[in-house]
């Protein structure tokens, strides 16, 4: 069971799941796939928020990847309420 936080949106789980399965990707590429059904702009904004809370890392050039903490959240081993933004 996943423990999300008030700052999270519906898109966040889809983004994290996509990156966990597919590896590093850009918001544009995620928006072009059926799994993450949100606009590129929304995905980009959510990725920036997820970086702030340590669930994603930004490699530059718009490429994001999931962190160890992001994988722990997906596995239900991390409560997102416990995360503090930068």
So where are the chain's domains? Answer: 10-77
Number of C-beta neighbours around residue 39 at 10 A: 12
Q: Which ranges of the chain does DSSP label H, i.e. alpha helix?
A: 10-22, 27-32, 40-52, 68-74
Assign 41 a pLDDT band (cuts: 50, 70, 90). very high
Whether 26 has a pLDDT exceeding 90, the answer reads yes
Return the CATH class of domain 10-77: mainly alpha
Q: Are 3 and 83 in contact (CB under 8 A)?
A: no
pTM confidence score: 0.94
């Amino acid at each position: 069971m996943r423990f999300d936080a008030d700052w999270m949106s519906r898109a966040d789980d889809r983004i994290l799941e996509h990156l966990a399965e597919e590896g590093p990707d850009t918001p544009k590429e995620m928006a072009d796939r059926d799994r993450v059904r949100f606009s590129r702009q929304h995905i980009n904004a959510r990725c920036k928020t997820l970086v702030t809370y340590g669930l994603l890392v930004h490699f530059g050039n718009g490429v994001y990847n999931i962190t160890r903490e992001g994988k722990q959240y997906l596995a239900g081993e991390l409560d997102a309420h416990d995360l503090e933004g930068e």
